[in-house]
Amino acid sequence: MKNLYLKNSKKLLFHGWHHTNFVSKKAAEFAQSIGADAFLAESAGLVHDLNYIVIPNSEPEVGKKLRENYLMKAGYSRHEIEWIEKIVMEGHIRTRTTKISEEGKALSDGDTLFKALPTTPILFASKYIEQNKVDISKLAHKISSEQNKLIKSGIYFYTALAKKKYLRWGKINLALWDNVNEALKDEDVAEMLSIAKQLKVL
Ligand SMILES: [Fe+2]
């Protein structure tokens, strides 16, 4: 699995092995903290973003076949593969709800934590923009619109462990992106960014 990510590392500036390895380990830790199946949560973490290898800036269902092939080759049973697919789909940030499995919660918390890390907007936001060929305004709008409603409904993180350790980071991270949206509406900021683009600084 690691080799597949390494082979595609140029396509996966944001969702590469650094992301996958982190998410799968944290998914296992969060699963253990709530008595869920850590092996399945970790496995789902390893394959949850394979869609970005198939089609850039795509939805998780695009990676279904590739996930199936890899998990089959790695010796997972048909039942386990179906479970992992369910966990991956449940944990997707854009569509996740209060009613997901415990393993789905663990994967979701691992994946959300990567976004909430203080290092991510500094080091990886620009990589997301490059990988997915979007601009900062699209990314900031996506983050604010997806994540504010999760904070409001109490499912930004699901597990008590993630909430206790990382919710403060998550809220500060989201406030930063809300500020980005506000700043982009300021004419002087817009002009400054447009000059930076003309100068090929951005
Ligand atoms: Fe992810």
pTM of the model: 0.95
Compute the distance from residue 121 Cα to the ligand 1 centre, in Å: 15
The pLDDT score that the predictor gives to residue 11 is 87
155-178 pLDDT tens trace: 999 999 999 999 999 999 999 999
11-55 pLDDT tens trace: 899 999 999 999 999 999 999 999 999 999 999 999 999 999 999
Q: For the chain, give the DSSP string.
A: -HHHHHHTTTT-TTTSHHHHHHHHHHHHHHHHHTT--HHHHHHHHHHTTTHHHHSTT--GGGGHHHHHHHHHHTT--HHHHHHHHHHHHHT-TTT--S---HHHHHHHHHHHHHHHSTHIIIIIHHHHHHHHT--HHHHHHHHHHHHHHHHHTT-SS-SHHHHHHHHHHHHHHHHHHHHHHHHHTSHHHHHHHHHHHHTT--
The pLDDT score that the predictor gives to residue 10 is 87
The pLDDT score that the predictor gives to residue 151 is 97
Compute the distance from residue 20 Cα to the ligand 1 centre, in Å: 7
Compute the distance from residue 119 Cα to the ligand 1 centre, in Å: 16
Compute the distance from residue 199 Cα to the ligand 1 centre, in Å: 33
The pLDDT score that the predictor gives to residue 64 is 97
92-122 pLDDT tens trace: 999 999 999 999 999 999 999 999 999 999 9
